[in-house]
Amino acid sequence: MQQRPLYVDLDGTLIKTDLLHEAVLGLAKRDPLALFSLPVWLAKGRAHLKRAIAERVHIDVGSLPYSESFLSFLKKEAAAGRRLVLATASDEKYARQVAAHVGIFSSILASDGRTNLSGANKARAILAHADGKPFEYAGNCRKDLAVWDSAAGAVLVNPVPGVESELAGKATVTQRFDDRRPGFSSTVRALRVHQWIKNLLLLVPLLAAHRFSDLDALLHVLVGIVAFSLCASSVYILNDLFDLNADRRHPRKRSRPFAAGELSVGHGLVAAPLLALLACGIGAAVSMPFLGILLAYLAMTLAYSFRLKHYVLIDVFVLAALFTTRVIAGGAAANVWPSFWLLAFCVFLFTSLALVKRCSELFTIEKQGLDATRGRDYRVADRTPLTAMGISSGYLAVLVVAFYINSDVVATLYSRPEVLWMLCPVLLYWISRLWLKTARGEMHDDPVVYAVKDRASWYLGAASAVILLVST
């Protein structure tokens, strides 16, 4: 007996994302002013909106996050001779590209600029295409219930909460696929909670001034750390959303929640501004100077994410400036402004770490057989001069420490300043080891994350703490 034809939804079913959301992001990246045309296009109907955007935005369908287990099932069904039809509310342009890429669909039904093929419209189109004969439908959301009302069987793929219970009594579920990660773990990864450790830099001015017992200042700094963490997460989300295509082609970044389709683009577009507003509210509670620095940090990170990261070396200096801004913000929160020595040390050290990040990425690019990065103006041949710059900058940071130890300021803060000289070989070893790991290709994309997980870095950090305590 011949199997019933299977009509397959695209957004959220065959792929773990929504092409309309991705296309709007692509439009914002390509031509931000075109976003003002969205209400005009929408006034003419959702089908017209989708067609207008599709005419202006290209989507790399080969890098989209497909539901792999479901796709494997479809390929087996197609090999067995089953008729498969792609039925989607996405624009016909994208539907044809996906169908051509997958290569298993006999025909497609899609929005054509006049009719938005969703809900009841899709149900009518499928019934007409099936000539009233029994069919099965694969979907994932409540809009698909209108189609399942007429279907002889249902295939559930990564269903949204509540759909399966609402489907009961409408159609028999013949197959179920769910390869999503838990939502909480995906959210934590999208927020990059592990990156919040960088915001402990706000404590540096308070510690450098030896105001360990000032609980009021410490409380202000801790609240400031929360504000910076939320602000950073909002920008991480925006950065991930606008880097979807590049991340999906990267061997490690393609597993990020938005690139992998674990979290929807729509949720990200809502979460990012809310986190930024919450961060600013908390920052205002610390102090107005702190809020000003937080806003400057937010402006720099947005400028970096949308434009500056594409310019060679400028991206490195901006990254170093963002780290240094955290230290300055900590001073504003505690009302202890960083000294010249501290700021000079931060500039050189963070420039070195930013260059470690770039050299590590170039090593990965070289292993892929490529000669240049995507989205950034770097070539594999740049590793040698970048390495020289990075090592030099790291050693200059150690030189700043040496000059600081020999300055008159030290005597007012430390009872045994001569012990501080032991910091220099510790720092020299750590920086040298960091660059050696980078040259071997053993460095994580983010040197701070690497250092947090590196046992030797913990030992060297503990040794530095002992040196500072003894000298104090």
Give the domain CATH number at 103.
3.40.50.1000
| Domain match, 60 and 193 both | no
pTM above 0.95, yes or no: no
> What integer pLDDT is reported at residue 3 of this predicted model?
81
**Model confidence over 403-445: pLDDT tens digits?**
998 888 887 888 888 888 999 999 999 999 999 998 888 887 6
Domain membership of residue 206 (yes or no) is yes
Residues 315 and 459 in one domain: yes
Q: What is the mean pLDDT of residues 464-472?
A: 86
286 & 152 share domain:
no
DSSP 102-154: H---SEEEEE-SS---STHHHHHHHHHHTTT---EEEE-SGGGHHHHTT-SEE
Last residue of one domain, picked from the residues 129, 156, 177:
177
Q: Which of 234, 298, 303 is nearest to 271 (CA)?
A: 234
Which tokens belong to 356? 């470690």
- State the pLDDT at residue 448: 79
Quick: pLDDT tens for 185-226: 888 888 988 889 899 999 999 988 888 788 899 999 999 999
Tell me the pLDDT band of 64, cut-offs 50, 70 and 90: very high
For 42-101, list the strands marked E by DSSP: 84-91
Alpha helices of 176-313 — where are they, by DSSP H? 183-191, 204-208, 215-242, 244-248, 265-286, 288-306
One domain for residues 257 and 374: yes
Is the predicted pLDDT of residue 98 greater than 90, yes or no?
yes
Query: Total domain count for the chain?
Result: 2
340-389 tens-digit pLDDT: 899 999 999 999 999 998 888 888 777 777 766 666 778 888 889 999 99
Tokens 């019934």 found at: 127
- Give the Cβ contact number of residue 397 at 10 Å: 21
Phi, psi of 106 (to 5 degrees): -80, -25
Instruction: Please indicate, yes or no, whether residues 66 and 212 belong to a single structural domain of this protein.
Output: no
Which residue is associated with the tokens 């450098």? 208
Examine residue 76 and state whether it is found in any structural domain, yes or no: yes
Look-up: residue for tokens 């409408």?
A: 170
Q: Which residue reads 């989607």 in tokens?
A: 88
Mark whether 223 and 272 lie in a shared domain: yes
1 part of a folded domain: no
Please tell me whether residues 274 and 370 are part of one structural domain. Answer: yes
Range of the domain at 89: 6-177
**Is 109 inside any structural domain?**
yes
Tell me which of 126, 160, 177 is where a domain ends.
177
Q: How far is CA 72 from the centre of its chain?
A: 28
Report strand pairing: 107-111 vs 6-8.
unpaired
The verdict on 13 and 130 lying in the same domain is yes
pLDDT exceeds cutoff 60 at 284? yes
Average pLDDT over residues 13-38: 90
